[in-house]
Structure 1
Amino acid sequence: MIKKEVDRLELEKRKYIRGRFKELEVYREEVWHCNRCNMCKEVFGWYMKSAEFSDLCPSFTFNKYDTYSSQGKMHIARSLIEGDMEWEDSEELLHIIYSCDMCGACNINCLRVMENNPLEVFKALRARAVEKGLALPEHKRLFESTIKHNNLLDAPKDERLKWTEGLDFKIKTLPQESADVLLFTGCMYPLETKVRDTLKVIAQVLKAGGVDFGFLGADEKCCGLMQLHVGEVGMFEQLAKDNINTFNELGMKTLVTPCAHCYHCFAYEYPEVGELRFEVLHIVQYLDRLIEQGKIKMGKLPREIVTYHDPCDLGRKSGVYDTPRKILNTINGVELREMERIKDQTWCCGAGGGVLEAYPAQSIWTAEERIKEAKVTTGSDTLVTACPWCEYNFRNAVENTGAKMKINNITELIARALNKEGE
């Protein structure tokens, strides 16, 4: 099959990379179809450029044992479905299941080769673990934080307002006021001090573009994707129902979010739960629209070499690859250089799927590997991304290694170029 045809099929099948909330036993035929081809472990052959950066699965590469790969977990699922093993048979079982970032890299290659959906199987595995009361302690704390504060970071609700301090304009608070656009901030940007200032920059760029926008303030609730990914399907569905009702009652035209997790959740998971009577866009899609409409005009920046990291939930799971690259290539003075593993073959940042919380050593190692790839293969000064979780973990990796690499959200480059307008 020629490459063009494979790419077409991959786009058609992308709709399957989402939660369908099925029981583990439904995937019996799927797990039996795993033929141990090893395609889940490495970059797809057509896109592989070197042995050094050929690995695709962080869990397998870090733990160096086949059981941690997608095909290994598929066989665990088969054994559990067929009764060949029980959940109590191995103390390592939960570690194997939960050390996966849920990045979907294996899923892309498996769809191409076998038309299987291992990511769906892993969601069902984790859901069954939670049903049996086997959720990891670190993930139970996420559930408790959600119940208590409606966020993942165990932060009081009023902390969601901290990022607005110092702005020279007031942001509308919905539903007390009305606006055309809802800026859904997510959990990480407003509540994590390492990346909080990025959200302020995003608001300033929207203001400069003349956007009529507001936010939910302290009343914003978590999107629920993390809960879904670690197996708490019931909590996800309740959050989805609550949020859908809230959003639909606002009367806004467009929901814009800078979080790749939230974007994928709203655009691809929520329609499984209820009807969304508004448009859902990631911030890069919305800013691209403003640039096209001439509402954002940018000047020339001093020469800067950058590389772009595709967030898994924005790129691989949602198909948004070209828009951020288009924006970067629009900024005069910015030279975009690509890493070896990009787009649907990208290497995960390591912060997803509950790994950041439960396995911090693996998480930071994964981010450090990406920083290394960015430096070795592109010589870039700056790694640009479009997700707070990626941004946070890469900042940690830079601090941990002392690497000379700036970590920026793509909106930060736009903001700097806005200040150069007319030059």
Structure 2
Amino acid sequence: MNFIGKILPIDGYYVMKKEHLPVDYAVSLTHLYQPLIGIYAVSLYHTLLHDSSIHAGGSPQTHHTLMNYLNLSLDEIYRSRLKLEGIGLLKTYKNKEENRDFYTYELLRPYAPTDFFKDDMLSQLLLHHIGDQKFDMLFSHYVPKNLEYGENITVDFSDVFQTVTPTEKVANVENYNYQHNSVNYEVPMDFSWIEQMLHKRMIPVNQVLTMDTKRLIYQMKVLYNLDSHEIERACQYAINEDYQFNQKEFKAACHDIFRSNNNQQSVRLSEKNNQEVKKYEVTKPKTKKEQLIYELERISPTQLLKDLSRGNDASDQDIKVIETVMTKQDLPAPVMNVLIHYVLLQSNMKLSKAYLEKIASHWSRLNLQTASDAMNFARQEQQNVQSKVKKNNYTRRQNTTKEVIPDWFKERKNKSQVTSEKPDTSMEDQEKIASRLKQYLNEN
């Protein structure tokens, strides 16, 4: 993969660090992050970290300096920078000053070892990279065991102090620290699909879909690149008879589904090529078509049905139809969204299962993967149908304008033509008869 030209040796850079690093950050970088991103990326992080203290508030450094520090090519430095950004250790900002590009590198704090193992996605990746034995050794060393110290007799806050209402500023800071330390964050995923599945099976939703469970589901979905119906199947494996969500069973199920989808290959971090990196750059949709594609890529089929029903909940029958077709034909959610939209428009807002299955099997054979591909193909098919209909209508009009003449009429016409071509002797005969009659009268 070639990154030449992305940055130049003369381009400058600043380094800033807003967060305090954990005490054992070096241990995390060496034993936990390095197996995932490699030694060059970790060395770049260390170099930028020390640059932030040496050149704090000073003039910018050039990337040629980094090349000398690390003894690496600029191509390899850029590749290492992308790895740091992808793993969550660096943010990059670009600015143009005096006909030169300047970059600001914001260093983010790595997880402490205990928090690293709380992040299911990172810990699962580490397990695949270093193996069970090494992983278990690191886990047992850095994650404290729950020891029983006896009966907990610690008093509460209200038993000792009078209750006061904290100010808004203090409350926000405490909330941020709590969320950051407990590795909680808002999950950017729609869970209405899974909620519908749990409702149909009479499983208490709030008991299963806790914040930790949602975070785990989202991370496993991203890690293994699973579709909604595959996540639903893994959830069914993980819920026991007491309606408890077993996280270990869920991870194992997601891993098994990934291996079955990828010819039993192991999970490894790999770099994307330039085309793939550009594909996932965030661009703001401009036209109505781009806005529609953007929405169809993001929302779930259930939410799409709800939006098309003017905010009303989709019927269980419609959801079951979509679930069956999507699972059977293995269509991605964005393609399924386009299919639903297309079928509803073609059938007067009726969700016909037979029509849906017919088109879904066709699109599955074509291996459509994105909403844009599905929409372009559907538009092309519609144009082909319209052109065929127009051609048939034109042919039908041409046939109806021609006068249909029976065979007997043609024969009669031909006979009359032949008769008209013969000389008309009736007048001559009449004149001869009249002449003879006149002669006969004169003689008598």
Task: Tell me which interval the TM-score lies in, with the shorter structure as reference length.
Answer: under 0.3
Higher relative contact order (CA 8 A, sep 6+): 1
TM-score, normalised on structure 2? 0.25
Larger Rg: 2
TM-score, normalised on structure 1? 0.26
